[in-house]
Amino acid sequence: MRPPAGFEPGIRYDAGSKAGHVVTEPLPAGEPVEWSTVFEHFGLDPAQYEIVGPVEMRSWESWSRDIGEDGAPGVMATRWLYYYKARFELRSDAGPERQAIDDLVSSIVKDRRPSKLSIGDAALVVNLADWQAGKRDGDGTHGLVQRARATIADLRRRVAELRKIGVPIGTIYVVGLGDLVEGCDGHYAMQCFGVELNRRDQRKLARRLIKEIVKAASRLAEQVVVAAVGGNHGENRKDGKAFTSFADNDDVSIFEEIAEALDENPDAYGHVSFVLPDADLTVTLDVAGTIVTWAHGHQFRGGATPELKARKWISDQALGRRAAGDCSLLITGHYHHYRVAQWGPVAWIQCPALDGGSEWWEQLSGEHSPPGTFSVVVGAGVSSRGWAHELMLGESYPENEV
Transcribe 290-354 into DSSP letters.
EEEEEE-STT--S-SSHHHHHHHHHHHHHHTT-GGGG-SEEEE-SS-S-EEEEETTEEEEEPPP-
Using a 10 angstrom Cβ sphere, with 0-12 exposed, 13-18 middle and 19 or more buried, the burial of residue 255 is buried
CA distance 356 to 143: 7
**pLDDT band, very low/low/confident/very high, at 356 (cuts 50, 70, 90):** confident
Query: Looking at the predicted structure, is the pLDDT value of residue 121 above 60?
Result: yes
With a cut of 50, say whether residue 268 has pLDDT above it: yes
Q: Are strands 49-67 and 73-90 parallel, antiparallel or unpaired?
A: antiparallel
pLDDT in tens, 35-58: 888 887 777 778 778 888 778 888
Instruction: Give the CA distances from residue 176 to residues 205, 221, 387, in Å, rounded to whole numbers and listed in that order.
Output: 14, 19, 19
Closest to 35 (Cα-Cα) out of 48, 19, 24: 24
* CA–CA dist 290, 274 (Å, integer): 19
pLDDT of residue 399: 38
258, pLDDT greater than 60: yes
5: pLDDT strictly greater than 80: no
* Contact (Cβ atoms closer than 8 angstroms) between residue 98 and residue 92: yes
Checking if the pLDDT of 82 tops 90, the result is: no
Residue type, 393: L
Instruction: State the pLDDT at residue 401.
Output: 37
Domains and CATH numbers, the chain: 10-90 (no CATH), 96-393 (3.60.21.10)
pTM of the predicted protein model: 0.72
Rg (CA), the chain: 28
Sign of the four-CA dihedral 97, 102, 107, 110 = positive
Condensed to tens digits (0 to 9), the pLDDT of residues 200-234 reads 888 989 999 999 999 999 999 999 999 999 998 88
CB distance 334 to 180 below 8 Å: no
According to the model, what pLDDT value does residue 308 have? 96
